[in-house]
Structure 1
Amino acid sequence: YYFEKGIPDDEWFISPGKQGESVQYYPHFDKKHFLIKSEFDYYADVFYYKIFSAWDTIGHLLNILYKLKIKRVGFKSAIAKLKSANPNLFKSLKAIVDDPDFQKANKLRDDITHNYLPSTVDSGIDKPSERKVTFGVGKYTKSAEFYQNVRASLHLFVKTLECIKQQS
């Protein structure tokens, strides 16, 4: 909904800025775009929390159903234990967690939870080696990348349920 209202962040910075600044972020934003982006970012963050919670709940169900005896259950840990309990389901679900869209979703979720929000420009400070620190334009994930990955993640979640249904 919010993505379709328009978030003009394909070009998320320009250098120099329109008024001579060294870098201008979100150069095509009007006041309304900041509100739209704020709402979009909020729901994108919540989406990743919720979908990975749902996948982890599936991990709990698999743990019970297949008596996997996992102490710290998660979706990926349950899949790993399925290798001997149900090799066909293991193979199907392993393909999901190995999918590049799942990997990207997992990275986005980890960054949202533990690091800079990828939907905001980070500090631009990097330490490529012990004796070197660089400063530059920060990293940023465009709204369209989130939108594409959310849609792909939903397809992977449906595929997860279909794989489990086929094996029962």
Structure 2
Amino acid sequence: MCVDDVHSGIALLESLVGGDIMSERINLLQGLRYPTPEEFRKLGVALADSWEQIRFEEIGDRHEEDFFDMFRNIELGNLYREFNGRVFNTEVAYKLVVFFYNRGIPDEPWFQSPGKDGRSTDYFPRFTEDVHFVNHFWFYHYADSFYSQFQGIVDFLYHVIKVKYDFDVKKNIGLQRVISFKLEEVEPELEKVLQDYRKKNSL
């Protein structure tokens, strides 16, 4: 790697974060704002029913005669609450992705060659205001958060299934496939939904 390659990489990173890396002047807070409560509520209207369908109904107080059933219901109740909390965090990340996208990210074309003033390449040539860089950075930040948290929901769901149906499965590579095989015997419709998801996402 030559010096020119290093400077080209720095130029790209500066474009991505909207700052001057060489002089350590990176300000991702300039022009940053988050949605108001009313804006936040409106961001979720279109998918409100979908998010609600993902959540578990929490288990109320039950008086089980069998000690093991009582213990399992307590554990399931805790898992349901944790799962619903994860869904809430994922919903927040999704809304913030939409919010920063709607604020404006003129990233097409994302580069221009040759660039201006003798530069070989200009990245994000239509980013003419600081807020464009800010929106771009935080959009991708929350997009990454959304994807990671959504996948975390799927992984955690398999753990809930394992506990709910008392599957004797050890944590190992291929855990989801083993659980799916067992689930097909007791809840084939649920397994069909999960199977469709795995096919769409190549799991």
| TM score, norm. by length of structure 2 | 0.44
Q: 2:167 aligns with which of 51, 58, 68?
A: 68
Task: Mark the CA change 1:67 to 1:17 in structure 2 (over 3 Å): closer, same or farther.
Answer: same
Whole-Å separation in 2 of the counterparts to 1:43 and 1:75: 28
**Contact 2:108–2:126 (CA under 8 A) maintained in structure 1:** no
- Deviation, 1:56, is 1.4
Match of 1:24 in 2: 122
Structure 1, unaligned stretches of length 5 or more?
Answer: 107-168
- Superposition deviation, residue 80 in structure 1: 4.6
Identity %: 33
Deviation at 1:6, TM superposition (A): 0.7
| 2:180 matches 1:79 | yes
Deviation (angstroms), 1:45: 1.6
**1:69–1:37 distance in 2 versus 1, CA, 3 Å:** same
- By how many angstroms is 1:81 displaced? 4.1
Of the candidates 90, 93, 107, which is equivalent to residue 9 of structure 1?
Answer: 107
**Does residue 96 of the first structure (1) align with residue 96 of the second (2)?**
no
> Match for 2:196: what amino acid?
A
Highest CA radius of gyration, 1 or 2? 2
Is there any run of 5+ residues in structure 2 with no aligned partner, and where? 1-98
- AA aligned opposite 2:187: N
Q: Tell me: CA distance 1:43–1:80, structure 2 relative to 1, closer, same or farther (3 Å).
A: farther
Structure 1 residues 141-161: Cα deviation after superposition (integer angstroms, max 9, x where no partner): xxxxxxxxxxxxxxxxxxxxx
> Distance in 1 between the 2:151 and 2:191 partners?
18
- RMSD, matched Cα: 2.5
1:33 aligns to 2:139 (yes or no)? no
CA distance in 2, matches of 1:7, 1:96: 30
Distance 1:20 1:81 in 2: 64
SS at match of 2:115: coil
Calculate the TM-score normalised by the size of structure 1.
0.52
Paired residues in the alignment total 102
What SS class does the counterpart of residue 166 from structure 2 fall into? Answer: coil
Cα distance change of structure 1 residues 27 and 75 upon mapping to structure 2, 3 Å threshold: farther
Query: What secondary structure does 1:56 align onto?
Result: helix
Identify the structure with the greater strand proportion.
1
Deviation at 1:28, TM superposition (A): 0.8
Question: How many angstroms apart in 2 are the aligned matches of 1:39 and 1:60?
Answer: 31
Amino acid at match of 1:44: A
Q: 1:64 to 1:87 in 2, by over 3 A?
A: same
